[in-house]
Each structure stands twice: as C-alpha cells, then as structure tokens.
Amino acid sequence: MKMNWRNMAALTLFATATLAAGTATAADIKEVRFGVEASYAPFESKSATGELQGFDIDVGNAVCAKLKARCVWVENSFDGLIPALEARKFNAINSDMTITEQRRQAIDFTDPIYTIPNQMIAKKGSGLLPTPASLKGKHVGVLQGTIQETYAKARWAPVGVDVVPYQTQDQIYSDLASGRLDASFQDAEAASKGFLKKPQGAGFDFAGPAVSDEKLLGAGVGYGIRKNDKALKDALNQALKELKADGTIDRLAAKYFDVKVVLK
C-alpha cells in the first residue's frame, strides 16, 4: 500500500506523541544508565581490580538482563546523584537511595525494593546512644546527601551535636577509626559489612537501637528516575516485580545481608 507524505507525517507525529506520553514498552529500552556512588559496601563498592560489586549492582544487572537492555554504570558522588540525574548524565539512580517525600519533590521513584535499618556505630563501651542528650558535644559523621544526614541535622544538630558531612563513606570510617569522630550514622548493613566486620572496625560496635522516623528516614529503597519518565518507570517496576516473584532478589539479598530486606 502506498503512503503519501501526509500519512507519513501523521504517523511520525503519532509515534512521537506516544513516546512523549510514556506509553513506550520495555522492548523500546535498549540501555539503562545507572548512577551509583561506589563506596557503600555491601550495596555498591569496588573490588581490588576496580570492578563494581554489591547488592545494588547485582540487582541492577539482573534488571537489565530481564529487560534485555545494556547496563551502563556512571559513578557520581551521592549528594550529586539527583542533580546529575536531572542533568541527564544517567537515567536512573541505583545507589541505596531511600524514598522520601523531600526527594519526591525533585524526582520520581520506582516501587520500593528493600529496606534497611539505620543505626549508629561507635567505640565499644562508649555508652553513646542515638539521642540528642547522649550525643551533645560529640562529632557524628554522615554521608552527604543521605537520609541519615537529613535526620541528624534535623534532630541532633539543633541541640549541640556536631554533625559532620563527608563525600564518601570510606572517609567517615577512616576518621572514626582514627578518633576524629565519636560516631557515625548510616545503614546498619553498610556499617556491618563495610566497617565492623573488617580489621579497621575492631573495637567498634553498634551504639544503641535502630533509628526509625518515616518522615525523614523513609520506608524503603527504590530507583530514582526523572519525573514523567513513565516508560522507564513502568519497565523497571515490571522487571523488579518479576525478579521478586521468581526469588532472584531474595537470593541476591541472602548473599549480602544477615536479615530479610526485600519488600514484597
């Protein structure tokens, strides 16, 4: 059947409108570019040979395999992930980023994938607790741009706690071990696997119970995406749903975590 230029133009406009409206399918996604801050074991870190590794990396690669898309990883500081996403340096944040209302003002998120307790660490026998009274006058390290920084600055800093932001989690652990910090506040699993179970963490332990505050600390981790990127959001959600249903994410979680973390 022949087609004149008017019909061709009409079909082109229809296709453009369809993609803009976010009705493209997973088959249209050939590449997923994930933004990651690679110093937060066991979620994302680098091996001795410089390869990316960790739970988020494994799940991201499984998502790309499910979508039959190429996975590309773009390293970025954690506090710069949202600006870099908005600047289109990548199209999804996959770096243990908790879904919070504050972040939703700037970007959108997929469905929650997992949740991890937030806990403070300090020297064994320090007697420190994650409370304003206990931490007054103390120095507490937090990773810039994290929910832990938001919480500590809102709940602890106003009553005299010195909340110290860092560009990387490794810098926090180094200053904690050297005595420049009294405590650090982060994901419990990151603290356990990235510090407490390593030689550098000898003499340190969790200080007090896990800290809960849904308003500031959120209720789960998802992939951050640009607002109105419906096609990618739907594709990622479908892939994650299938990987939860077939047990893939549970199996990957068991490889890294001591507790059940996957949200159904």
- 52 has a pLDDT exceeding 60: yes
* Same domain membership, residue 64 and residue 189: no
* Same domain membership, residue 41 and residue 75: yes
Query: Domain ends where: 201, 217, 233?
Result: 217
* Same domain membership, residue 110 and residue 156: no
- 16 has a pLDDT exceeding 70: no
Dist CA 114 CA 222 (whole Å)? 7
- Stretch 24-37: mean pLDDT: 84
* Same domain membership, residue 128 and residue 111: no
Cβ atoms of 195 and 173 within 8 Å: the answer is yes
Please report the pLDDT score of residue 64 as a whole number.
98
- Stretch 241-264: mean pLDDT: 92
* Same domain membership, residue 90 and residue 66: yes
* Same domain membership, residue 206 and residue 180: yes
* Same domain membership, residue 159 and residue 132: yes
Which of 235, 187, 201 lies closest to 69, judged by CA?
235
Is position 1 within any domain?
A: no
Total number of domains constituting the chain? 2
**Cα atoms in the Cβ-side hemisphere of radius 13 Å centred on 71:** 20
Is position 15 within any domain?
A: no
Is position 16 within any domain?
A: no
Is position 14 within any domain?
A: no
* Same domain membership, residue 187 and residue 138: yes
Cα torsion 53, 35, 148, 261: sign? negative
Domain that holds residue 236: 24-115+220-256
- Stretch 80-105: mean pLDDT: 96
* Same domain membership, residue 106 and residue 40: yes
Q: How confident is the model at residue 36 (pLDDT cuts 50, 70, 90)?
A: very high
Please report the pLDDT score of residue 258 as a whole number.
80
Please report the pLDDT score of residue 19 as a whole number.
38
Dist CA 15 CA 91 (whole Å)? 21
Q: Which of 39-48, 130-139, 156-165 has the lowest mean pLDDT?
A: 39-48
- Stretch 43-60: mean pLDDT: 97
Is position 3 within any domain?
A: no
* Same domain membership, residue 146 and residue 98: no
* Same domain membership, residue 227 and residue 177: no
Which DSSP letter does residue 40 get?
B
pLDDT in tens, 154-211: 999 999 999 999 999 999 999 999 999 999 999 898 899 899 999 999 999 999 999 9
The more confident residue out of 21 and 245 is 245
Strand partners, 44: 40
Cβ atoms of 150 and 177 within 8 Å: the answer is no
Please report the pLDDT score of residue 219 as a whole number.
78
Please report the pLDDT score of residue 28 as a whole number.
81
Q: How confident is the model at residue 263 (pLDDT cuts 50, 70, 90)?
A: confident
- Stretch 249-263: mean pLDDT: 91
Please report the pLDDT score of residue 259 as a whole number.
76
Is position 107 within any domain?
A: yes
Is position 263 within any domain?
A: no
Cβ atoms of 69 and 32 within 8 Å: the answer is yes
Is position 140 within any domain?
A: yes
Q: How confident is the model at residue 25 (pLDDT cuts 50, 70, 90)?
A: low
Dist CA 248 CA 214 (whole Å)? 27
* Same domain membership, residue 148 and residue 87: no
Question: Where residue 181 sits, what CATH number does that domain have?
Answer: 3.40.190.10
